[in-house]
Structure 1
Amino acid sequence: MSLTAVQGSFPRRLRLLKPDEYRRVFSRAERSTDNLFLVLARENGLEFARLGLAISKKNTRRAVDRNRLKRLVRESFRLNQELLAGLDIVVLNRRGKLLMDNGRYTASLLRHWKRLAERCAIS
């Protein structure tokens, strides 16, 4: 099945944009962690999930690597939105784990999505 422009997009309503939205997630979040990512989630009272990224320069020095991580996280989130409905999510990267293939990052994110959906009793 081919994706239309709408199906393949990442509209503003699915993003955390304001500092207060990030602060709310950081304040009391469910955590899921491994050696690649720390993922925080909190219920948002909406019928859809929203994503925020905190991919730091401190942990990933090169801009090309940070951009790659952001693209992978956004795509994984987009493909698993139904599983995450009702959550605000912030993804942070871990230090020095850059030489992985995309499949490893995608598998890690899928485990985080499933774990958080289960912990927050959203499905």
Structure 2
Amino acid sequence: MAKKNVRYAVQRNRIKRIIRESFRLHQHELPPIDVIVLARRGLDDFTNAQLHAEFEQAWQRVTKKFNQSQRD
């Protein structure tokens, strides 16, 4: 997580904790692939609930994209 995009360590750590928790809760639904999460500017302005919702959508997109690539 880039210091350039999320300035304070406490915010970077909060985001990383939420990413890990979200992954842990959804790992049984996710395809067997490696995932890299890049932080964009403004991510530290999100509330915890908003971050959870964003990662929920991200996991769904990853799964959908993986399933589509498997059919091709």
Q: Report if TM-score (shorter chain) is over 0.5.
A: yes
**Structure 1 unaligned spans of 5+:** 1-54
Contact 2:12–2:44 (CA under 8 A) maintained in structure 1: no
User: What is the count of residue pairs matched by the alignment?
Assistant: 68
Match of 1:65 among 11, 28, 34: 11
- 1:80 to partner: Cα distance: 0.2
Runs of 4+ in 1 over 4 A off after TM superposition: none
Aligned to 1:39: none
Match of 2:36 among 81, 84, 90: 90
Aligned to 1:102: 48
More strand by share: 1
Find the aligned partners of 2:36 and 2:15 in 1 and give their Cα distance. 13
Question: Normalising by the residue count of structure 2, what TM-score does the alignment of the two structures yield?
Answer: 0.87
Q: Which amino acid aligns with 1:76?
A: S
- 1:73 to partner: Cα distance: 0.3
Contact 1:60–1:66 (CA under 8 A) maintained in structure 2: yes
Percentage of matched positions with identical amino acids: 43
Q: Which amino acid aligns with 2:6?
A: T
Find the aligned partners of 2:39 and 2:53 in 1 and give their Cα distance. 15
Contact 1:59–1:96 (CA under 8 A) maintained in structure 2: yes
- 1:113 to partner: Cα distance: 0.3
Query: Which one scores higher on RCO, CA 8 angstroms, separation ≥ 6?
Result: 2
**Structure 2 unaligned spans of 5+:** none
Aligned residues: CA RMSD: 1.3
SS in 2 for 1:89: coil
Question: Normalising by the residue count of structure 1, what TM-score does the alignment of the two structures yield?
Answer: 0.52
1:11-68: CA deviations, max 9, x gaps? xxxxxxxxxxxxxxxxxxxxxxxxxxxxxxxxxxxxxxxxxxxx11110010000000
- 1:69 to partner: Cα distance: 0.5
